[in-house]
Amino acid sequence: MEQSVESLVRLLESYRGRDKVIRTVCYGSQLVGGLLSRKAETDVSSRRLGKSLLLFSAQLSHCRTVLRLFDDLSMLAYSRSYGMGAEEEDAAVRWISVLTNMADQLYYPCEHIAWAADAELIKVQSDKWWLFSTVLWGTSLLLGILRSLRVLLLLKKKLKRNERDEGGNSRSQLRRQMQGEALSILSSMADLSNAVHWMPPGFLWAGRFPNWLVGLMGTISSVTGLMQMSASNSNQTDNI
């Protein structure tokens, strides 16, 4: 029990860890709140609890938006360190990663402008800026899926070669990497489904998700992200 609490505290002490926890609670609240709200006609107490959870989820989402006001520089630093991906062995992975970094970098100022417009700090219409940020987010997710699929293909080829030439440790490491890429695909697909939902009506299934389904997709993505972070921390500990 104490170990679990200590792990949670360490997670909350880091910015990325805290963001993932807030995200998980945000979407989890939307999932449960949406399900309870469906019982509105038969159960007044469920309706009230569901409404409270949906309001709580909205506040956590707003909290994350405000915190992202300070993410531009860290994203810029990452983009500069990656550059044109000279260290990547595969050209497709390199160019997909560069395009992903560009989409991520442009996402932040678009979201900041939309937030500032909603907060009445600037006099512009926020709708188009929210649309720009959603399109960039969806583009980044789609590129991320393509990158993970390409990496999976390359890892499978390496695994086949290692099965013929080498033994144990290298194969287990490759399998862990493949599992990580598979989790990335699952997470990105769940988020992409929500990104499409938030597009203007008429685009695929835009606007058709009930609250509980948005919460479910977000919860799947968030829990997957926590699993990846935990696996990454375990790998780092093993390498020390």
Helix (H) or strand (E) holding 117, with range, is helix 91-118
User: What is the structure's pLDDT at 196?
Assistant: 98
User: What is the structure's pLDDT at 240?
Assistant: 47
Calculate mean pLDDT across residues 208-218.
97
Domain extent listing, the chain = 2-231
Q: Residue 89, SS3?
A: coil
Does this model's pTM top 0.85? My answer is: yes
Asked whether the predicted pLDDT for residue 237 surpasses 80, the reply is: no
| The one-letter amino acid at 22 | I
Asked whether the predicted pLDDT for residue 13 surpasses 70, the reply is: yes
Largest distance between two CA atoms of the chain? 66
Percent of the chain exceeding pLDDT 70 equals 92
Q: How many Cα atoms sit within 13 Å of 210 on the Cβ side? A: 9
Residues near 147 by Cβ (< 8 Å), separated by ≥ 6?
Answer: 93, 96, 97, 100
Separation in Å, CA 45 to CA 12, 85, 210, 213, 227: 32, 55, 20, 21, 34
Residues near 133 by Cβ (< 8 Å), separated by ≥ 6?
Answer: 107, 110, 111, 114
Residue range 35-73, pLDDT digits in tens: 998 865 567 888 889 999 999 999 999 999 999 999 999
Calculate mean pLDDT across residues 194-211.
96
Q: Which of 183, 193, 181 is nearest to 147 (CA)?
A: 181
Q: Identify the residue whose tokens are 């707003």.
A: 62
pLDDT band at 126 (very low <50, low <70, confident <90, very high): very high
User: What is the structure's pLDDT at 38?
Assistant: 81
Asked whether the predicted pLDDT for residue 81 surpasses 80, the reply is: yes
Asked whether the predicted pLDDT for residue 86 surpasses 90, the reply is: no
